[in-house]
Amino acid sequence: MYGYVSINRQALSDGEYERFKAYYCGLCRALRQRNGQLSRFTLSYDMTVVYLLLSALYEPAGETGRERCAPHMARPHAYVSDECAAYAADMSVVLAWHKADDDWRDERRVDKLALRHALAPAYGRTKARWPEKCRVIGEAVDEMSRIEARGLDDIDAAANVTGRIMGEIYAWRNDFWAEPLRRMGRALGRFIYLMDAYDDLPGDVRAGRPNPLIGMSGRADYESEMKDILTLEMAEACAQFERLPIVRDANLLRNIFYSGVWCRYAALQKNSDDHRKEK
C-alpha cells in the first residue's frame, strides 16, 4: 500500500526537492516527539504528501529550522514543523499498527506481532486523540479482511475500502474543505489499491497467491483497461486537488499528483518492455 504517492525527482528543481525533504524530516521529527523513536519506522513519502498538502491548504503557524538527528548526525538538515505534521504523524502510526496487525493475523509472522506490540502504546494515544478517525479506519480494515476472506473477487469493493481509509485521513477537519479532501483521498486510495495489485500480480501468479486482477489479466485488453482505470482515478483526485485554493508549494504538489504517482507504473512498463526485448 505504501510507495505509490511520491515525487518525480527528475522533474523537480533542487529547491523543490529540498523543500519536500524538509517536510519529510518535519514528519519524522513529529513522530519522534509525539510517539517516541520507534514510531519513526512508520515514516513514509505517502504520509509526507498528506502533511505537505494539508499544510499548503491550511497554512497553519509553524516553524522551520535545522537540526541533527540519530539517522543524520553528520550535518544539520532542514525541517518544516506545524500542527499538520502532528496529524500526519498520528495517522502514520494508525496505518502502521493496522498493517502490522493484519500481517500478523494473515501470516503469523513473529516480527509483525512484535511490531504491533511495540506500536500499541503510540496507537493507544493516537486513538484517544482521534477516536472517530480510528473507528472509521478500524471498521474499514475489518471490512477488507472480510473481502479478502471471500477470495478477493470484488475488485471494486476492496478498492473502495482503501479509498474510504485514505478519504478519512485526507479530510483532516470537519470544515468546508473536508469534502473535496475526502473525495481526493478516496480516489487516491482506490488508485493505490489497484496499483498495488497491478504491481504484485506477476509475483502473485508465480507464487500461487490470490490477487484480485488474476481473472482480468487474461483478457487481451488487460493492459489498456488497467491504464484507463488508473487514469480515471487519478483524474478524479487531481480534479479535487484543483478545487483547493493552494498557492504555496502548488508546483511541488502538482509534481506529485500529476507525475510522481505514475513513476512506479512507468518503471513496471519499462521492465516489461525490456523483458520482451530480451526474448
The pTM of this model reads 0.93
* Nearest residue to 36 via CA among 120, 134, 112, 101: 120
Taking the domains of the chain in order of start, what are their residue ranges? 9-273
Cα(185)–Cα(9) distance, integer angstroms:
23
Cα(144)–Cα(124) distance, integer angstroms:
22
Q: List average pLDDT for each run of 10 residues in the chain, which is 279 residues long.
A: 88 96 96 88 95 98 86 82 97 93 78 87 94 97 87 83 97 97 98 95 90 91 95 98 97 97 90 52
Cα(18)–Cα(146) distance, integer angstroms:
42
Instruction: Compute the C-alpha angle 71/72/76, nearest 5°.
Output: 150
Q: Can you tell me which residue has the cell 502473485?
A: 204
Question: Is 1.10.600.10 the CATH classification of the domain at 9-273?
Answer: yes
Please give the pLDDT value at position 1.
63
What dihedral angle (degrees, nearest 10) is formed by the CA atoms of 114, 129, 253, 47? 0
And the C-alpha cell for 141?
480494515
Please give the pLDDT value at position 146.
87
CA distances to 29, 96, 115 from 118, rounded to whole Å, are 19, 11, 5
